[in-house]
Structure 1
């Protein structure tokens, strides 16, 4: 059996169904619906051939070529689908909900699958993604200079039942020149947006959602403008953490990283750090003086943070002094403070 559903209806159906993306591996890598499985009808090269034939010769010839190319593959497609969905219930999509998804749906239905075809395919899904960023969310932004422990506190807040969006995890980058930590690989911009939209869908927009203070870009990925503007307008809890505490944490965290990686990242901020500071920072890296290295680069990052803070509405920036090294205590401090703010707000 085959039927069609819009992307909204699919997500709201309430019954988890395996989603099969029949686009090429290259298309899937560029961006896909989180959780989807890729069973490509064509290889990257085959899709080019079919597309060229369609444009230069005609639709019927392109369809015949498509059947020639996929003929020996159909049993393999069905076997893959059975591995993904032993209950024989699947949803399928291609780029626009056209011939590729239609062909796969037909074959699977013929074998006995209950098949849902996503109307408009991935193209409509991308429209849906952008609508997620325009929704008004009840954001609370957690700020603080580099080394304040913002990410760990966010994770603790999540463990305590708070709604949290971890933008750096979604972007696979910690936000600074050193942000890949020499191990993380960033998703494409398209996939970052897809991942963020999925995370937002799991949130209640009317209930407080915590995010970390970020610039527009996280590594090479950009926060979608409608959502970033909301972050800039939201109340910011500015964690004030002792410099020595921050230096100690960062030296411990970055001290184990490859020295060549640290040096290359430092070179990337040479113009902003300054030639003299860069020289001393590189020497500190080579001589394994991690505390000295951290102190030198913090001059730049602290200045950058203060500049960003100065561009915010001062009435929406709320400083909180953090003295403890205990993440749980600090998370409780943040929650108690925000509760006090909320109570004060009800008095006016």
Structure 2
């Protein structure tokens, strides 16, 4: 496994577009050539390689000089630096030569990002199976995610998949103003989190489906959670669940019509009468009643079907009753769970 934590600075020498798609977590983007320059050099390379390299190096020296002044000059000369580009070729070599000449302890990543990406895929095929999971299940709004946060606060190893995915996990789960990572960067972030865990300690995680928004979970993780994870059933009173929804989905409380329109694809599933009831509650701004009805008529039955489909054992599952979803109450529950399950 790569030991990226051994470096004080990791430089991604690729252009901005490549960096945005995926990069080593913690790496900073100091492009040798930017998006437009990269496209220009690539186009010219098809007809005149020598001229393309001439222009590319010219751009590179100017850009590296600017990065040296704005970023590198502020670093300690004792810093260990790792630099990479797409395949570990010319762009990282230009950075390496500059930093090595100055006197930094610098290394290039063998195989570059392409090699790193291959390694991520290989790791995610097996590495998630090395851990023992406690899986928090329960209907939407019952406080599973908040309980995970309190477990982490109390020192538990928590794998918050929805936080990594920047999504709450349903068709209405997008977080306003927060884009999801690409699939590749989600994979990188997930492996980064797992690599910091100890296989000798329990990993706490929330039950999830195959996808969280637009990103997919690795099969090895899902299969291990489904077949070997210790399952806990979390529940909370409906009044608390509605209060949680009103806090977490405040943007829909101010625009309930948008919420109902987002769920329009469910009309054929729940029936026209039920969907018209949702629309009526939204139109009359009866928000608590709308949220409760959505959970009773759709989310709770849907979650129940998903659990029966994905988990082998649903009988004799320990139940965790959360009567109060405020942090202080969940904090006490988290301590008790850690003492019981590790």
TM-score (normalizing by structure 2): 0.87
In 1, are the aligned partners of 2:7 and 2:82 still within 8 Å (CA)? no
What SS is found at the alignment partner of 2:263? Answer: helix
Which deviates further from its counterpart, 139-148 or 78-87? 78-87
Which of 160, 173, 182 matches 2:176? 182
Which residue is equivalent to 2:85? 94
Which residue is equivalent to 1:77? 67
Which residue is equivalent to 2:299? 301
Distance (Å, rounded) in 2 between the aligned partners of 1:202 and 1:293:
41
Q: Show CA shifts across 1:50-89 (max 9, x none).
A: 223334444x443223123334334213213425634363
Judged with a 3 Å threshold, the aligned counterparts in structure 2 of structure 1 residues 273 and 329 are, in CA distance, closer, same or farther, namely farther
Judged with a 3 Å threshold, the aligned counterparts in structure 2 of structure 1 residues 169 and 126 are, in CA distance, closer, same or farther, namely same
Task: Give the gaps of 5 or more residues in structure 1.
Answer: 1-6, 340-348
What SS is found at the alignment partner of 1:95? Answer: coil
Q: Tell whether 2:272 aligns with 1:275.
A: yes
Paired positions, count = 329
Judged with a 3 Å threshold, the aligned counterparts in structure 2 of structure 1 residues 40 and 181 are, in CA distance, closer, same or farther, namely closer
Which residue is equivalent to 1:322? 321
Q: Tell whether 2:155 aligns with 1:152.
A: no
RMSD, aligned α-carbons:
2.4
Judged with a 3 Å threshold, the aligned counterparts in structure 2 of structure 1 residues 291 and 33 are, in CA distance, closer, same or farther, namely same
Q: Tell whether 2:234 aligns with 1:239.
A: yes
Judged with a 3 Å threshold, the aligned counterparts in structure 2 of structure 1 residues 47 and 255 are, in CA distance, closer, same or farther, namely closer
Q: Tell whether 2:8 aligns with 1:17.
A: yes
Within a 5 Å distance, the mapping from 1:144-293 to structure 2 comes to 144-233=138-227, 234-255=229-250, 257=252, 258-259=254-255, 260-293=257-290
Deviating beyond 6 angstroms after TM superposition, the runs of 4 or more aligned structure 1 residues are none
Distance (Å, rounded) in 1 between the aligned partners of 2:132 and 2:20:
32
1:128 Cα offset (Å): 2.4
1:332 Cα offset (Å): 3.8
Judged with a 3 Å threshold, the aligned counterparts in structure 2 of structure 1 residues 114 and 81 are, in CA distance, closer, same or farther, namely farther
In 2, are the aligned partners of 1:238 and 1:317 still within 8 Å (CA)? no
Which residue is equivalent to 1:4? none
1:95 Cα offset (Å): 0.8
Judged with a 3 Å threshold, the aligned counterparts in structure 2 of structure 1 residues 316 and 92 are, in CA distance, closer, same or farther, namely farther
Which of 95, 100, 114 matches 1:109? 100
Which residue is equivalent to 1:343? none
1:318 Cα offset (Å): 1.4
Distance (Å, rounded) in 2 between the aligned partners of 1:73 and 1:18:
18
Task: Give the gaps of 5 or more residues in structure 2.
Answer: none
Which residue is equivalent to 1:26? 17
TM-score (normalizing by structure 1): 0.86
In 1, are the aligned partners of 2:166 and 2:175 still within 8 Å (CA)? no
